[in-house]
Structure formats: C-alpha cells, structure tokens
Amino acid sequence: MSRGRGTIARAWSRYRKNPGAMIALGFLVLLGLVALFAEAIMPHDPNKQDLVNAFQKPSGDHWLGTDDLGRDMASRLISASRVSLRISFQVVGSALLFAIPIGLIAGYFGGKIDNFLMRIMDGLMSFPALILALAVAGILGPGITNAALALTVVFVPSFSRLMRGQTLAVRQETFVEASHSIGTPSRRIIVRHVLPNAISPVVVQTSLALGGALLAEAGLSFLGLGVQPPDASWGSMLRRSYDFIFTEAWMMLIPGLAIALTVLSFNTVGDGLRDALGIAGVSRRERKERRGLTTVVRGANGNGDATAAAAAASPTPTLPPPVLTEAIRERNAKRTDESIDASRPLLSVEGLEVSFQTPRGLLKVVEDVNFAIFPGETLGLVGESGSGKTVTSLSIMRLLPSPPARVTAGRVMLEGRDVLSLSFREVRELRGPTMAMIFQDPMTSLNPAFTIGNQIGEAVRWHEPINRKQATKRAAELLDLVGIPTTRLGAYPHELSGGMRQRAMIAIALACNPKLLICDEPTTALDVTIQAQILELMKSLRDELGMAMLFVTHDLGVVADICDRVAVMYAGQIVEQAEATALFHNPQHPYTEGLLKAMPQDTKPGEALYVIPGRVPSPGEHDIGCRFANRCAYAKVECGQQPIALGTADDEAHLSRCIRVHELTLGKAP
Amino acid sequence: MSTIVDPSTNGHAGNGAAGGEPLVRLRDVTMLFPVRAGVLQRVKGHVRAVDGVSVDIMPGETLGLVGESGSGKSTLGRVAIRLLEPTKGTVHFDGRDITKLKPSAVRPMRRDMQMVFQDPYSSLDPLTQVGQSVAEPLETHDSMSRAERETRVAELLSMVGLPAEHLHRYPRELSGGQLQRLSIARALTVNPRLIVLDEPVSALDVSTQAQVINLLEELQQNLKLTYLLIAHNPSLVRHASDHIAVMYLGRVVEQGGSDDVYLRPKHPYTRSLLSAIPVADPLVQRERRRIVLEGDIPSPTNPPSGCRFHTRCPWVMDVCHTVDPEGYVTPDGSVVHCHLHTTGPTLAGETVLSLPMPKGASSPT
C-alpha cells in the first residue's frame, strides 16, 4: 500500500536541484556520521588532561589546539557534537510526539476539546523559554536530562499550534467530507487523510527547530544549567572558553563556529524543504524577474519549428473587415472627445505565441493567434479550459506572471504601438485610460484590506492628477453608474455579495473611461439571475460609454447575448472566427459544431447528450496537423499531415481552420 | 381555493405511477446554523439554511434540486443522507426514521447512501493513489482480501469508462472529468441505493459535462440507482431528472414533473430563473423579453417576511408581504407556494407564463 511515495520522490527531485540546500544537507549528514562514529574518529581521549600542554595553538598533533586543561579541542568538539545533536533531536522529537496528536485532535474535533488543549498550550507559551528552563532546572536540578525536558516543554506549544492550524485547513477539504460520507471512522480519517496533508509545514518547522534547539541547549549549558563537567557539549565548551576570552580568544571560535555552521545548515535545509514541498513563497529565481509585466522573448522557441515555418510561409490572413452594425455606430458616436476611425482596428493581435517554462522545458500554450477588435465592437473569445483564451487575454495587457510565462512571438498593436515592445512605465500608462480588465473571481481580485471606494479612487488617481476628495466624488459617480448604492462607498469586499463585488470591479475598470475593456469570464462565478443582471449592466454601459470589449467565456449562451463577433479557441489556436449570428447558425468548424450540439437545451430529455469523444490535448501533446483531428468525426488523412492555417470559409468575414470546410455541411441539426 | 397539501402525496398528487413507497422522505426539514459573534461567541442569530422542506424521492428516479446561492439545496442534500442532523423535521430512508440516529448508528447505513461532490480536484486525497481512494468504502463496510479489493476496483473503473492502470495514478495526474468519474466509482463501490450528486458537473467543461451526465444516466439504468441531483443549471436538471424541486432561500417554491416545471413554470421565481439563462442563438436571445430580477438574493440569516420572494417578485401583491403561501396542488400534479394561484389574478394552477410581463422587465436591446 503506497502512501504518497510519489510525492516524496517528487519533493526529493525538486530538493536536489537546490545547490545551497544540498550542501547544507551534506554538511549535516557528515556531522551526523562524525557524531555517530565519534570514538573511532577522535584522535585523542577528550577527557585526558595534560596541563603542561595547555592553551596550545592548532598543530599537527592537536588539530584544533588544546584547552585550559590541556585536553585536545578537536576530540572534545567531536565528542561534544554527539551530545549537542542528540539533545536537539531528542528535544524536537519528544516535542513532536506530543504536539502532533494534540494539534490534530484539537483541530479536528474543535469545540470544548480544542478550547481545553489550546488554553493549556497558551499557558505554556506565556512563559519565556529560558525562564521556564530555569524553573525546571531549579526544581529538578541541573543536568542534560532536565535541560532537555525543559526545552521540550518550550517547543510543544508552537508545534501544536502549527499542526492545529494545518488540521483546520485540511479538515475543510472536500475529500475529508467525502470520507465522512463513506462512513470511514474519524480516527482513520485523521491518520490517513488529515495528517499527511497537514504535515508539510511541520516538516519545515522541524528543521528550523532543530537549529533552535541546538542554540537553546548551548544557551542553557553556557549558563551552567545544561551539560555538567566533565561531559562536554558545544555550549559548555563555549562556557569554558569564555573564561579565557581575554587571553586566548581563539578558543571561543571553535565551538562557536561549530554551532553557527550547524544552525545555518539546519535553516538552509528548512528553506530547501519549503521550496521542495511547494509551500507558499516565491523562490529565489522567481524573485529576479519583474512582476506585473510579462516578459517578451521573441524566438525563444527553438522547438516546434514546423508550425512557425508554416505560419511564416502562409501570409497572415487579412483580418475580417469590421461588421458595422447600427449598434456599433451608435456606440462610437458616444465617444465625443475622440476621433474614431471605425474602419481601422483598435486592437490588432498578430501571430501571438505564448509559452510557459515548465520542468519539461518551454511549452507553447498559445500559438498563431490573430484577431482584431474594431472600435465599439465586442469580440467573444470562446473555448474550454486548456484552450488558451485566458492566457491570450492576459497577454494583451501583459499581465501573465513571468516566470513561468513568456510571449515568444507576435505583436499586439494598440493605437499603432506594439504593447509587447513597450517598457513597464509605458504599459502602465495604457492600463486604465486605454485598456482595462475585469476578472473572474471578484473575491480574489479585489483587495480585502481596502474599501471599494478607496480602490476605485486609487484607479482614478493613478492616471489623473486629482486629490482625494475629488477621487471620492468620482468613485461615488462610478458606483452610481454600476448600480451600487453610494452609501456603500465605505464597504469592504467581504461585506458585499458576489454580484456587488463584480459591479465594484467593473467600476474600477471603468474609472478612466477605457476604449477597450477585457473581461475574463466575469459572470462564470455568479448565480444565473445575478449573471443576467451583470450582463444587462455591461451591455448598457458598453452602449453608453462606447467601449470595445474582448469577452472571454466558455458559455455560448453568454456569447449569443453580448458579442458582435466571436473567435473560437481550441488547444491554443483560433479555429473559427465569425460574426455572432453566422457562427451559431452556420458553424464552419467541427469543434464549434460539437460545442453547439452538446448543449443540454437542445437535447430531448431521455436522449443521451451529444459528446465530443476524447479530450482536449495538453500543451505540447498534439501532433503536427489539425489538433482536433483525433476527436473529429470528419477527419481524413490529409488533416494530420501538416499544420493548418486559418483561412476563409464562406466569406471573408468567416474564417475557419479546417481544410475540409468547403466540402462539409456543418450545423446543429437533429 | 387553496388545497392544503397532503404530505403523503406531496409532489405526486395525480401522478398515477407513484404507487410505491418513496426511498427518501423528508418532512418539514429545517436546518438552522447558529451565528456567533462578540467576545464571548454568543449566538446572535441563525442562518435559516433550510426552512420547512418536504420532498419525496421515489426509488429508481432522479429528483433534481435547482436553486442559487443561499437556496439551501446543498444543505438539504446533506441532510438527506444524514451528514447533518436536521434541527427540526424528519428524514426517512426506506421507511426507517433516521432523523435522530447517532453517527455510529448511521455509519452502517452509509452503504446505501453515498455522495458525489462538486469539485473533482479536491474530492480525492491528493496524497493517495486513486485506486486506494476508490477502495476506501470497502475497508469500512466489507472485509475483502487485497486481491478481491483490487478486482472490485478494476471492475468499478471499467464501469465508469476508465482504464485499469489508472489505479496507481495520483489525482494531480488526471483531468477533471476523469477525477469526477473516479468519485462516481467510489460512490458505487458498496452498491448504494441512493446517490446524492452535489453539482457533479459544474466544475467541468461543457463537453466533459455531457460525458459525465451520460455516464450517470447509464449507471442509473443498469444499477437501478436513485439520484438526488443538485445543480444550478435548470436545462441540465431538466434533461437528467424525472421530478424537479426549485428552492429559494431555504424553501421549495415549486416542485413537480420536470417537463411541467420547465415548460409550464407556476412560480415567478422559477420563471425568472429559466428566463435568465441565455439562449445560444443571438437572434433569439436578443429578441427575447426576459425577466431580470432586481436586487440581490437576501441573506438566509434574515429572510424576508411573508413570502420570501416578495422583495424581488415582479408580480408582488400586498398579501405577499405578510402571509407565507401554503402549498397549492395544481391539476398536473405540481405543488407551488405562491399567492398568485389563490388571490389576485388567481392562476389556480396555470403557468406563470400566461401572465403579462411585469413592468420593468428587460426589453430587447
């Protein structure tokens, strides 16, 4: 019965890649061996006195010199290592023996048991460590055993609190509830499911605590409460050397360095474990790259060249002409302070390619993406998870985190400038007045520590030189615009419902009256009736303010409601692009047809739902030709032979990445 | 004139097929969660998650439970399989009263009632191999040897359409659809009679949703299962259910046969809910006259007086503010809690669709 062995193996391989952590681990292993085989390694008897040769400097005979009684420092250091290390491990080990069950039980069962146990822990924690140790030593007498006991008591509360916190978090996970519903008894759930999932931070803390225990023991022994002569620990060696600090200062260095190096190694191992176990925190490498601006490294993709060559060989298809409906004309008319050329795109994405740095190398997740958004129009970007739609939308604003994301090819032309070539400052100036974004989950996108009035005001003040009072006034106007009562200016995000929070986010995005609004699944997390409200709001705002929109979603119903034109994405590419009605009534790609047929609204009850067989390929997993071919009912041999470009289907406004498009008759039909 | 609902025929009045006993019978179930605040953590109020719900689930059928946030549908699902003990009311399973049983007495009953959860990614222990997770019910309810367990797990995996070698994979290596199938396999392990499906496909893509729903329907046919399907997508629920119950703020506002509820809604909330779902056809969607409800869903801690929907109802009348509507049995067998059927325009069982659109309804853009 293997229990997470795969996880340990993975953690180890991650740990191995960290050179500092490996060195530290090596040092500790070496130290452990030295302590274990102390008798064999020691050159002399550590207790043998030789007063004639006292205070000798390091020499061939005595590698680290001799102390005040002529005893060999090196041998004392080695034999002391055993004592110091043993105490560290003993203290931490016994602390864990108590703390883990206490934390698990308190966290899992809660209520009175939790209260009882934690108040005891609080009581113990309220004593400063050293005072507690002194008290124990005072009652039970000095000596290593008692010192170890005192230290154990000191370490138990913090470990148990950590364990309890982790247990509380894991207890809420669905798989714990699932085990309940199966009927698994509590004790088995705790040991088998909760403990392994909760233990990682405790493992990291253990390593750090070992260092702490070593220092604590050294401190106690330094005070004379720990190890008693003639036995030696590093702490007691430090004590003796301290007596001669004015005459033989070098003597303190030796145990001091030993302690310092060991504690440093424990800490480094702890850091390495934290990275290897994937506990929250940015690794050193990540911190180097800039946050808030996706890195653009054109041509970084040496592999997968066939596609690049094909894309280069076939000319970029001329983008479909704008569809100038009455509605769009009216929207453009609203932007009175700008001169709008409705025939030229506001945003033009050309040949966009985005890759992610993974342990397996650079993987392309978005490839050969071309589309344009004209002033006043709403383009829908539809796809399932793994299609690349969110990555595409984030890369337009250069908001993908780097690492691991990199834009590896293409241009994003906004008002004549390539966003991908701009500096951070230039991009920041565009964000807000020219383009703005709203995200899927308003709870995590709004800052929980600030009121919504504050956050909206901040958005305005970044781009306009107004003072706080004016900003508050603007914020109130915006709240009014999005339908939030202005009395809620001082509300925090958690005080608002999901729909209100989304409205607040819309207000922030609209603060500087952007020309382009990018929406990444803004209604997916909302209830159906609230979704209807928010969509109505967005439509009326778009019409009133004359904004263009890029609307990313997986819901075809929403697309039908709000979008003028649609682009369908699959496995990182656009597979079809058309005006909205044309897409729904006359799909020109088998994938689009499949999506339309799978909708439950159109299936008779009692009939099985239409299923597209197979599943979406992961990045890098697809073959050279059409990426949908292995799931396509119409696939032929030619489909898999070479990369397929996006070409015109029925008319120049309708594009499809299917080479058989002119032969096939697609549609929702029975 | 209103008809007081006879609990013994709740939701099935006039349904000739319902000759047998329900597998699950919930009567006046109420679930209150205390709200604690202040330094001393005193109880300040209660979240009325479920407030007086009575439904039956007939063996071999699927009851779909539809509602939005705060409706109490997930809580009701958990009460139905006794993961929670109701504050008031009774729960009967297969004729037996299981309302007041202690957890240790409920445990052996877990063979018969299982649950599949919404999020496939957190439904399985990330540190355990999936084969292990699927076999977990066997450890509590059966004594099989290791070889027998492996055979059973392999059998289950093939029942849900997964290859046997997935036994040794970890959840992180699998997709959402595959993980959800594994959750279903785990629920089937000890041959349950009832499965509560709590939003089983909401976290999945459209094409994967279809696969999982088809699988569930196939399994129901082959294994004679009974389902309580909880979801917020009414079209999906209509497709997959025999009966539907619509919940709002802890109450069932309408219940009946799925076609009756979906095509001829009798309650304004049902109509608004159905109206809010966008239709995947731009021409139709933009011409539709939809009802867009004003305001947010009230908090279950402080529900409105009288009919709970009165704060947002497009056809609200004076009586709705003060009197909580009784259940009204309609000619086609549905039960609806709405004053419109007994006062005002007196629909008397007619569908709400027959009413003229209220003022303030959204007109086509």
A665 burial class (0-12, 13-18, 19+ CB within 10 angstroms)? exposed
User: Is residue B231 assigned to a domain?
Assistant: yes
The answer to whether the CB of B111 falls within 8 A of the CB of B138 is: no
Candidates A601, A610, A618: best to mutate against B (most CBs of B within 10 A) is A601
Chain A touched by B296 (CB under 8 Å): yes
Contacts of A563 in chain B (CB under 8 A): 282
Chain B touched by A4 (CB under 8 Å): yes
Backbone angles phi, psi at B262, to 5 degrees: -75, -40
Virtual CA dihedral for A492, A495, A500, A503, nearest 10 degrees?
10
Closest CB to A197 among B126, B258, B279: B126
| Structure confidence by residue, pLDDT tens digits, A340-358 | 777 788 899 999 999 988 8
Token pair belonging to A276 = 């290897």
Backbone angles phi, psi at A119, to 5 degrees: -70, -35
Q: What angle do CA A594, A602, B158 make, to 5 degrees?
A: 60
DSSP string for residues in B85-134:
--SEEEEEETTEE-TT--HHHHGGGGGTEEEE-S-TTTSS-TTS-HHHHH
The answer to whether the CB of A445 falls within 8 A of the CB of A505 is: yes
User: Is residue B58 assigned to a domain?
Assistant: yes
Token pair belonging to A206 = 């253990």
- Measured between alpha carbons, how far is A4 from B95 in angstroms, rounded to an integer? 43
The answer to whether the CB of B323 falls within 8 A of the CB of B317 is: no
Q: Which of residues 283-312 of A touch B (CB under 8 A)?
A: none
Is B110 in contact with A183 (Cβ distance < 8 A)? yes
Contacts of B141 in chain A (CB under 8 A): 183
Domain of B64, CATH number, reads 3.40.50.300
Is A527 in contact with B81 (Cβ distance < 8 A)? no
| Beta-ladder partners of B96 | B93
User: Is residue B156 assigned to a domain?
Assistant: no
User: Is residue B154 assigned to a domain?
Assistant: no
pLDDT surpassing 90 at residue A222: no
Go through chain B and tell me how many residues it has. Answer: 365
| Structure confidence by residue, pLDDT tens digits, A495-546 | 888 888 999 999 999 988 899 999 999 988 888 888 998 999 999 998 888 8
Chain A touched by B118 (CB under 8 Å): yes
Whether the bond into A230 is cis, omega within 30 of 0 = yes
Contacts of B133 in chain A (CB under 8 A): 175
Closest CB to B122 among A175, A528, A600: A175
User: Is residue B130 assigned to a domain?
Assistant: no
Q: Give, for A102, the enclosing helix (H) or strand (E).
A: helix A73-109
Q: Which of B205, B58, B179, B69 is nearest to B125 (CA)?
A: B179
Percent above pLDDT 90 for chain B: 48
A431 burial class (0-12, 13-18, 19+ CB within 10 angstroms)? buried
Helix axes A200-222, A129-140, angle to 10 degrees: 60
Candidates B123, B124, B128: best to mutate against A (most CBs of A within 10 A) is B128
- Measured between alpha carbons, how far is A428 from A609 in angstroms, rounded to an integer? 47
**3-class secondary-structure state, position A528:** helix
Q: Which of A476, A395, A400 is nearest to A435 (CA)?
A: A395
Amino acid at site A232: A
At A424, is the pLDDT very low, low, confident or very high (cuts 50, 70, 90)?
Answer: confident
- Measured between alpha carbons, how far is A597 from A667 in angstroms, rounded to an integer? 8
Q: Give, for B232, the enclosing helix (H) or strand (E).
A: none
Q: Which of A349, A365, A371 is nearest to A304 (CA)?
A: A365
At A169, is the pLDDT very low, low, confident or very high (cuts 50, 70, 90)?
Answer: very high
At A437, is the pLDDT very low, low, confident or very high (cuts 50, 70, 90)?
Answer: very high
Chain B touched by A608 (CB under 8 Å): yes
Identify the pLDDT of residue B26. Answer: 95
Is A532 in contact with B81 (Cβ distance < 8 A)? no
User: Which residue of chain A comes nearest to B116, CA vs CA?
Assistant: A178
| Structure confidence by residue, pLDDT tens digits, A174-216 | 999 999 898 899 999 999 999 999 999 999 999 999 999 999 8
User: Is residue B247 assigned to a domain?
Assistant: yes
User: Which residue of chain B comes nearest to A604, CA vs CA?
Assistant: B239
- Measured between alpha carbons, how far is A233 from A38 in angstroms, rounded to an integer? 13
Chain B touched by A523 (CB under 8 Å): no
Token pair belonging to A548 = 């263009």
Is B127 in contact with A384 (Cβ distance < 8 A)? no
Q: Which of residues 454-493 of A touch B (CB under 8 A)?
A: none
- Measured between alpha carbons, how far is A247 from A241 in angstroms, rounded to an integer? 10
- Measured between alpha carbons, how far is A514 from A436 in angstroms, rounded to an integer? 6
Lowest mean pLDDT among A221-225, A558-562, B30-34, B306-310: A221-225
- Measured between alpha carbons, how far is A398 from A420 in angstroms, rounded to an integer? 7
Chain B touched by A359 (CB under 8 Å): no
Is B124 in contact with A178 (Cβ distance < 8 A)? yes
| Structure confidence by residue, pLDDT tens digits, A59-100 | 777 888 888 888 888 888 888 898 889 889 999 999 999 999
Q: Which of residues 164-183 of A touch B (CB under 8 A)?
A: 173-175, 177-183
Identify the pLDDT of residue B10. Answer: 42
Q: Which of residues 209-268 of B touch A (CB under 8 A)?
A: 209-211, 213-214, 217, 232-236, 238-240, 258-259
Q: Are strands A378-382 and A565-570 parallel, antiparallel or unpaired?
A: parallel
At B17, is the pLDDT very low, low, confident or very high (cuts 50, 70, 90)?
Answer: very low
Is B279 in contact with A560 (Cβ distance < 8 A)? yes
- Measured between alpha carbons, how far is A16 from A599 in angstroms, rounded to an integer? 48
Token pair belonging to B140 = 């509590």
Token pair belonging to A564 = 């003028």
| Structure confidence by residue, pLDDT tens digits, A594-630 | 888 888 777 777 788 888 888 788 887 877 888 998 8
Closest CB to B210 among A6, A184, A598: A598
| Structure confidence by residue, pLDDT tens digits, B134-157 | 999 998 888 888 899 889 999 999
Identify the pLDDT of residue A150. Answer: 82
Is A601 in contact with B81 (Cβ distance < 8 A)? no
Contacts of B234 in chain A (CB under 8 A): 528
Is B119 in contact with A174 (Cβ distance < 8 A)? yes
Q: Find where tokens 């209830």 sit.
A: A527
Q: Which of A248-252, A333-337, B245-249 has the highest mean pLDDT?
A: B245-249
Is A612 in contact with B207 (Cβ distance < 8 A)? yes
What ipTM was predicted for this assembly? Answer: 0.84
Q: Are strands A573-579 and A655-656 parallel, antiparallel or unpaired?
A: antiparallel
Integer CA distances (angstroms), A631 to A229, A616, A639, B181, in order? 79, 9, 12, 20
User: Is residue B170 assigned to a domain?
Assistant: no
| Structure confidence by residue, pLDDT tens digits, A465-499 | 888 888 899 999 999 989 898 888 999 998 888 88
Closest CB to B281 among A178, A584, A598: A584
pLDDT surpassing 60 at residue A313: no
- Measured between alpha carbons, how far is A170 from A103 in angstroms, rounded to an integer? 12
Contacts of A600 in chain B (CB under 8 A): 210, 213, 233, 235-236, 238-239
| Structure confidence by residue, pLDDT tens digits, A242-258 | 888 888 888 888 889 99
Closest CB to B205 among A554, A557, A581: A554
Contacts of B209 in chain A (CB under 8 A): 598, 609
User: Which residue of chain B comes nearest to A483, CA vs CA?
Assistant: B295
Q: Which of residues 20-59 of B touch A (CB under 8 A)?
A: none
Is A543 in contact with B238 (Cβ distance < 8 A)? no
Contacts of B205 in chain A (CB under 8 A): 384-385, 554, 616
The answer to whether the CB of A85 falls within 8 A of the CB of A144 is: no
Domain that holds residue B273: 7-112+192-364
Sign of the alpha-carbon torsion through A299, A302, A307, A313: positive
Interface contacts A/B by beta carbons within 8 Å: 194
At B12, is the pLDDT very low, low, confident or very high (cuts 50, 70, 90)?
Answer: very low
Question: Any long-range contacts for A608-612 (C-beta under 8 Å, 24+ apart)?
Answer: A608/B214, A608/B217, A609/B209, A609/B210, A609/B213, A609/B214, A609/B239, A610/B210, A611/B207, A611/B210, A611/B211, A611/B214, A612/B207, A612/B210
Identify the pLDDT of residue A499. Answer: 87
Shortest alpha-carbon distance between residue A204 and chain B (Å)? 18
Chain A touched by B6 (CB under 8 Å): no
pLDDT surpassing 60 at residue B4: no
Percent above pLDDT 90 for chain A: 34
Whether the bond into A514 is cis, omega within 30 of 0 = no
User: Is residue B229 assigned to a domain?
Assistant: yes
Amino acid at site A464: E
pLDDT surpassing 60 at residue B77: yes
Q: Give, for B328, the enclosing helix (H) or strand (E).
A: strand B328-329
Token pair belonging to A302 = 């040496």
pLDDT surpassing 90 at residue A423: no
Residue A570 backbone zone (phi > 0: left; psi -120 to 50: alpha; other: beta) = beta
Is A611 in contact with B205 (Cβ distance < 8 A)? no
Contacts of B285 in chain A (CB under 8 A): 557, 560-561
Residues 6+ apart with CB under 8 A from B156: B134, B185, B186, B188, B189
Residue B72 backbone zone (phi > 0: left; psi -120 to 50: alpha; other: beta) = left
pLDDT surpassing 60 at residue B311: yes
A290 burial class (0-12, 13-18, 19+ CB within 10 angstroms)? exposed
Is A611 in contact with B259 (Cβ distance < 8 A)? no
Token pair belonging to A283 = 């690794």
- Measured between alpha carbons, how far is A298 from A352 in angstroms, rounded to an integer? 10
Residues 6+ apart with CB under 8 A from A376: A328, A329, A331, A332, A340, A342, A546, A547, A548
Q: Which of A57-71, A231-245, A552-566, A624-638 has the highest mean pLDDT?
A: A552-566
The answer to whether the CB of B138 falls within 8 A of the CB of B186 is: no
Is A584 in contact with B292 (Cβ distance < 8 A)? no
Alpha-carbon Rg for chain A in angstroms:
34
| Beta-ladder partners of B42 | B37
User: Which residue of chain B comes nearest to A540, CA vs CA?
Assistant: B365
Token pair belonging to B160 = 């849900």
Q: Find where tokens 């000095």 sit.
A: A142
Number of domains in chain B: 1
pLDDT surpassing 70 at residue B360: no
Q: How many helices (H) and strands (E) does chain A have?
A: 26, 13
Closest CB to B280 among A556, A610, A616: A556
